[in-house]
């Protein structure tokens, strides 16, 4: 992962917090700002926009935050509309459309590390929906909605991929895999969870944005055993979910 990406994310987050704090300070000092500006729906909308801007693309996690915040804000400002009853189905429908129309940003993004990514993806796309437990393809391309997926990835030249979960779970066993240098795995999940089983000596670098969720590396600590030439970079968004990292 390029250092510029890390820095850009920190700067955007910092600017977001500075702006929020400045507005709150001004409100407390008596500036005539609307009170609804400091409600939790507005905070969700702002954070959702931040997530989308940071990822520079249509991001399912960011979109769901904007939807939840926006619909609840409408319901709060115009209670006579009785919009609250329709919030859940509208969110599910729009989120489904986002998953369908979402561009494969990850493959474009990964071209910085591997110029052959498009050619390799075209050659291995047929493995994306393989229902067998064992999969020897070099990429993960998994989408789970109201269900789950569990696979053993056996590639000796694993190159990353994309995992998307909505009210679902995913488990990928990468303990038999090998990677060369640095690979990127994008994880986007809303009300879901992902379990990754990886070799104990891989280095994990996380750039995942988490909202009411978390990432936990439960591998046993083995000082001096980390191979800094094998780096798994995690990017994406987790909303009401978690990523569980383990090793055997």
Domain check: are 95 and 124 in the same one? no
pLDDT at 93: 78
pLDDT at 101: 65
- Per the confidence metrics, is the pTM higher than 0.75? no
Domain check: are 199 and 133 in the same one? yes
Domain check: are 91 and 135 in the same one? no
3-state class of 108 per DSSP? helix
Tens place of pLDDT per residue across the chain (248 aa): 333 444 555 676 777 778 888 888 888 888 888 888 888 888 888 888 877 776 666 666 677 778 888 888 888 888 777 777 777 787 777 767 766 666 554 444 443 444 444 444 444 444 444 445 666 688 888 888 778 889 899 888 898 888 888 788 899 999 989 998 889 998 888 888 999 999 988 999 888 878 778 888 888 877 677 788 889 999 888 878 889 999 87
Cβ–Cβ under 8 Å, residues 159 and 183 = yes
**Where a domain ends, among 67, 101, 135?**
101
Q: Which residues of 226-237 are buried (b: 16+ CB within 10 A; e: fewer)?
A: eeeebbbbbbbb
Domain check: are 85 and 124 in the same one? no
Domain check: are 121 and 205 in the same one? yes
Domain check: are 128 and 72 in the same one? no
**Where a domain ends, among 79, 101, 123?**
101
Domain check: are 70 and 20 in the same one? yes
Q: Are strands 242-246 and 214-217 parallel, antiparallel or unpaired?
A: parallel
| Total tally of structural domains belonging to the chain | 2
**Where a domain ends, among 101, 117, 147?**
101
Domain check: are 44 and 151 in the same one? no
Cβ–Cβ under 8 Å, residues 121 and 137 = no
Domain check: are 57 and 116 in the same one? no
3-state class of 86 per DSSP? helix
pLDDT at 162: 87
Domain check: are 232 and 141 in the same one? yes
Domain of residue 19 covers 3-101
């Amino acid at each position: 992962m390029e250092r510029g990406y890390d820095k850009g994310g920190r700067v955007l987050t910092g600017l977001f917090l500075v702006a929020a704090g400045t507005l709150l300070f001004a409100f407390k000092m008596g500036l005539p700002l609307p009170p609804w500006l400091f409600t939790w729906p507005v905070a969700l909308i702002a954070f959702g926009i931040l997530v989308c801007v940071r990822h520079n693309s249509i991001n399912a996690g960011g979109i769901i935050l904007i939807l939840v915040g926006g619909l609840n804000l409408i319901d709060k400002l115009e209670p006579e509309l009785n919009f609250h009853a329709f919030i859940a189905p509208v969110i599910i429908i729009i989120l489904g459309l986002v998953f369908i129309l979402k561009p494969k940003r990850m493959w474009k993004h990964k071209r910085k590390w591997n110029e052959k990514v498009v050619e390799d993806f075209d050659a291995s796309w047929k493995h994306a929906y393989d229902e067998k437990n064992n999969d020897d393809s070099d990429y993960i391309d998994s989408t789970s909605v109201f269900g789950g997926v569990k696979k053993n990835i056996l590639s000796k030249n694993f190159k990353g991929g994309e995992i998307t979960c909505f009210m679902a779970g995913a488990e990928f066993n990468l303990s038999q895999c090998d990677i060369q240098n640095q690979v990127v795995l994008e994880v986007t999940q809303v009300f879901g969870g992902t379990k990754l089983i990886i070799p104990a000596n891989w280095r994990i670098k996380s750039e995942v944005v988490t909202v009411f969720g978390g990432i936990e590396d439960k591998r046993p600590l083995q000082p001096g055993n980390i191979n800094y030439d094998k780096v798994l970079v995690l990017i994406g968004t987790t909303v009401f979910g978690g990523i569980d990292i383990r090793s055997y």
